[in-house]
A = this chain, B = another copy of it.
Amino acid sequence: MSELAHLGPVELFTPRFDASLAFFVDILGMDVVEQIGPSTYLRGWGDYQPWSVKLTASETSGMGVLGLRAWSVEALERRVAAVEATGLGLGWTDGDLGRGASYRFTDPDGHVFELYYECDRYVAPEGLRPAHKNVPGRYTGRGCAIKRLDHINLLAADVRANREFCVEQLDYRLYERIELNDGSEAGAWMSATIAAHELIYTRDAHGASGRLHHVALWVDTREECLRAADIWVDAGIEIEAAPSKHAIAQGFFLYGIEPGGNRVEVTTGGRFVYAPDEPVVVWTEAERAKGQAWGVKTVESFHTYGTPPVE
């Protein structure tokens, strides 16, 4: 029972806007909702909000603003107060497209967030209306047919500090973390729901700040991750990690780099955490070294690459 409803929408910067947009639309299969200034607003067919990813032309790559929806007006007020007390608050904005007053702040590592409660619901236009009234949008099956934004993995110089901020100020639940032999924290997996992860921090190998590890987009089945790999290979998209299953959180993955340089995951599965008193799973350095669920070794770039690039 977190005071947060869920994570998102998210803004991504890209120095190769046209190529990135083509990737999100033609390859990932997301729909364009609106174009405002340097930004295109995109959605998956199953996002209940009007958009979940905002692609913004920029000089470099990385994450812009990450939205977090509070559970209620009261929850929003409590979370804002908690953040304000840390001195990391930046103040209220009018909110991005389709949402109300939003409270902007940064985490200790410098990533920009906006907390909000009020927002529009997506209303499918004629031609994109689905057959069933409990589904937001039409399933056309284009490309990877992304359903919705799922989770975000941020890099941080100090994982523990950011994780503690998220648990204490934002009311995230901590499900799993990696503790190295020296006692430092290499990763933390948090969620506002029973889904195994919504917000992840892993260590920035370069000690830089405010960087993105990856944005993860959801499909409903492992078979859709496998066919996404086929689509990527034939389209010349660079696969960083072929479809397999994570040990941590048990999610199924496909990782690659979109034309703008940001790492993107197509994901599904993952464990559900129904217990209110679920103990935090702590992975040791030795356990992490065993690789993923089926023994696949994690590619080296996964531990070092993030966006924007470090100088």
Contacts and interface: CB of A to CB of B under 8 A. Distances in A.
Contacts of A53: none
A132 B242 contact: no
A165 interface: no
The binding surface of chain A is classed by DSSP as loop
Given A194-B193, A275-B5, A294-B239, A222 B226 contact: yes
A283 B143 CA distance: 29
A152 B230 CA distance: 26
Interface in A226-262: 226-231, 233-236, 239, 242-245, 247-250
Which among A71, A143, A194 has the highest number of chain B CB atoms within 10 Å? Answer: A194
Nearest to A283: B133
Interface in A47-99: 48, 69, 71-72
A33 interface: no
Given A243-B294, A293-B233, A281 B139 contact: no
A59 B1 CA distance: 41
B274 A5 contact: yes
Nearest to A26: B140
A184 to B, nearest CB: 20
A221 interface: yes
A275 B70 CA distance: 10
A143 B143 contact: no
Nearest to A49: B275
Contact of A134 (B141, B176, B194): B176
A138 B227 CA distance: 12
Contact of A296 (B145, B242, B276, B279): B242
Contacts of A194: 193-195
B222 A141 contact: no
A220 interface: yes
B295 A234 contact: no
Contact of A141 (B143, B247, B274, B296): B143
Given A140-B235, A229-B293, 4 more contacts: A133-B283, A140-B231, A141-B142, A141-B143
Interface of A: 1-3, 5-6, 29, 46, 48, 69, 71-72, 121, 130-135, 138-145, 176, 193-195, 220-224, 226-231, 233-236, 239, 242-245, 247-250, 269, 271-272, 274-276, 278-279, 281, 283, 287, 292-296
Which 7 interchain pairs have the tightest Cβ spacing? Answer: A223-B223, A242-B294, A6-B274, A138-B234, A131-B233, A5-B276, A229-B294
